[in-house]
């Protein structure tokens, strides 16, 4: 075991992370360091993927500040023991739920939001009283280096450590040499399966934040202009490299033409007629990602966009029509600015298309029909989403965030994140002043009658 990891365990076992003031101070130090490193982080994300500064600040920095502020306001309440009722059969007693931190946790982050998706889980872990190891993505190396500096300047190495290097070698080495108390992974499903395999021998609990093909459904009662505006923003934010981005659009045949025209108008407003010159569009993270997304351009009719440049890792915002349902672009998570648009006419047809890619991380509905909104909310299986917008649910610390089935397991953000990194310990405090004795032998017919009455 790496001696530095042993320091994390020693600190946790000492109880130093348990008091409220220790958790609060760690969060305040993290916030101050984040503020001090903001410009370096923005420059690093620009270097790694040409991420526009405004997008980078909103998503990668602003949301982390919001998560810290929310935790600081709510932390005392989250930590407070929660009294719960005690059944009649267990009287005379009182019952309480206590939250104790898991211990030493491993947080493995992806490259697409390289600040947010490492620091947001860390906020929850620190609020819950844990020590942590952070593994930023090696595919965003400039950002990973700044994160390491940010953590070193804010928090003691016995509380939080950052490990750099290729995930394919670093993560197995970490999990093979040290038993973490929880592993939090954000990334692709294939890598998520590998994380589960590494955790299984030591029965380490794992949270997986994965992805999927998140649809945007537009019916014939929708505000088409507004739907086009919000879908275009969702699809092209971070050049589509967002796990909850609109992956494809299912639009009612009656409004399809209007939607397409409005979508084209919005894309030109956002990025101009020559999107490669726009400073507002990020690039594919690396050549592999570029080649994967570029191949999708051949799997349908390019109705808008389609330009690309390998040297610049640039792919224009593109709308595809006539995409076969069995084509890779309709089976794989696109993770790029390519948007297939398909039409539907009845709800059965719509359900059939959605069922081909079940349990997405997110789903979006644009509709003014209350019945359609109920059907979407109650009958479709997805992690979370919006009605008449996209992406917004991720930004609320009051809403639990996570996948279902194939798109992940576990929830975080706000109180849900605190609970995720905590052990909910149930305790019954029994009275010693009285002893009902019904549960003890010998079991008489009177005791049985009383117990049957109590327990039914």
Q: CB neighbours (10 Å) of residue 407?
A: 29
In the numeric block, the tokens 């009612």 are attached to 252
Helix (H, G, I), strand (E, B), or coil: what is residue 428? strand
Burial class (CB in 10 A: 0-12, 13-18, 19+), 263: buried
Sheet holding 408-409, edge to edge: 160-162, 131-135, 104-108, 182-186, 206-209, 408-409
Q: Are 235 and 202 in contact (CB under 8 A)?
A: no
Please state, in angstroms and as integers, the Cα–Cα distance from residue 311 to each residue in 49, 51, 314, following that order. 13, 17, 8
236 is catalytic: no
Collapse the DSSP code of 315 into the 3-class scheme (helix H, G, I; strand E, B; otherwise coil) and give the result.
strand
104 - beta bridge partners? Answer: 131
Which one of the listed residues 55, 131, 236, 243 is annotated catalytic? 243
**209 given a catalytic annotation:** yes
Q: Which two tokens stand for residue 44?
A: 């690093």
The Cα-based distances of 363 to 19, 224, 250, 376, 383 in angstroms read: 40, 17, 11, 9, 8
| Contact of 35 with 46, CB cutoff 8 Å | no
For 440, the token pair is 């003890």
Q: Comparing C-alpha atoms, which of 119, 107, 110 is closest to residue 62?
A: 119
Alpha carbon distance 178, 158 (integer Å):
15
Q: What is the rounded CA–CA span in Å between residue 436 and residue 450?
A: 11
> What would the DSSP string read from start to end of 189-203?
HHHHHHHHHHHGGGT
Indicate the pairing of strand 422-430 with strand 93-101. Answer: antiparallel
The one catalytic residue among 38, 55, 131, 209: 209
Return the active site residues. 209, 243
């Amino acid at each position: 075991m790496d001696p530095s990891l042993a320091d994390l365990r020693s600190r946790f076992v000492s109880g130093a992370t348990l008091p409220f003031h220790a958790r609060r101070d760690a969060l305040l130090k993290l916030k101050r360091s984040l503020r001090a490193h903001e410009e370096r982080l923005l420059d690093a994300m620009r270097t790694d993927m040409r991420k526009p500064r405004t997008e980078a600040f909103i998503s990668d920095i602003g949301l982390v500040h919001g998560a810290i502020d929310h935790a600081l306001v709510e932390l005392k309440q989250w930590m407070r023991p929660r009294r719960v009722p005690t059944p009649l059969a267990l009287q005379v007693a009182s019952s309480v739920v206590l939250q104790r931190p898991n211990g030493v946790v491993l947080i493995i982050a992806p490259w697409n939001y390289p600040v947010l998706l490492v620091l947001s889980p860390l906020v929850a872990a620190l609020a819950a009283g844990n020590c942590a190891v952070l593994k930023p993505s090696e595919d965003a190396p400039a950002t990973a280096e700044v994160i390491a500096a940010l953590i070193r300047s804010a928090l003691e190495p016995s509380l939080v450590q950052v490990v750099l290097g290729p995930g394919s070698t670093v993560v197995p080495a970490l999990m093979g040499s040290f038993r973490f108390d929880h592993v939090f992974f954000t990334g692709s499903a294939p890598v998520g399966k590998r994380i589960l395999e590494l955790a299984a021998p030591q029965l380490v609990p794992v949270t997986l934040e994965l992805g999927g093909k998140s649809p945007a459904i537009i019916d014939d009662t929708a505000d088409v202009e507004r739907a086009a505006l919000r879908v275009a923003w969702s699809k092209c934010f971070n050049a589509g490299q967002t796990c909850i981005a609109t992956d494809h659009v299912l639009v009612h045949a009656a409004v399809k033409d209007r939607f397409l025209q409005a979508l084209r108008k919005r894309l030109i407003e956002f990025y101009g007629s020559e999107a490669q010159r726009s400073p507002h569009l990020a690039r594919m993270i690396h050549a592999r990602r570029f080649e994967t997304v570029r191949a999708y351009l051949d799997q349908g009719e390019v109705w808008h966009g389609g330009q690309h440049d390998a040297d610049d890792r640039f792919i224009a915002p593109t709308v595809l029509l006539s995409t076969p349902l069995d084509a890779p672009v309709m089976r794989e998570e696109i993770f790029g600015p390519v948007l297939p648009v398909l039409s539907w006419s009845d709800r059965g047809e719509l359900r059939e298309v959605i069922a081909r890619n079940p349990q997405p991380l997110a789903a979006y509905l644009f509709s003014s029909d209350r019945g359609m909104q109920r059907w979407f909310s109650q009958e479709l299986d997805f992690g979370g989403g919006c009605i008449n917008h996209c992406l917004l649910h991720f930004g609320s610390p009051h809403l639990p965030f996570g996948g279902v089935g194939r798109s992940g397991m576990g929830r975080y953000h706000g109180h849900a994140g605190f609970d995720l990194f905590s052990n909910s310990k149930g305790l019954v405090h029994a009275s010693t002043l009285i002893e009902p004795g019904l549960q003890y032998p010998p079991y008489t017919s009177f005791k049985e009658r009383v117990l049957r009455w109590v327990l039914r």
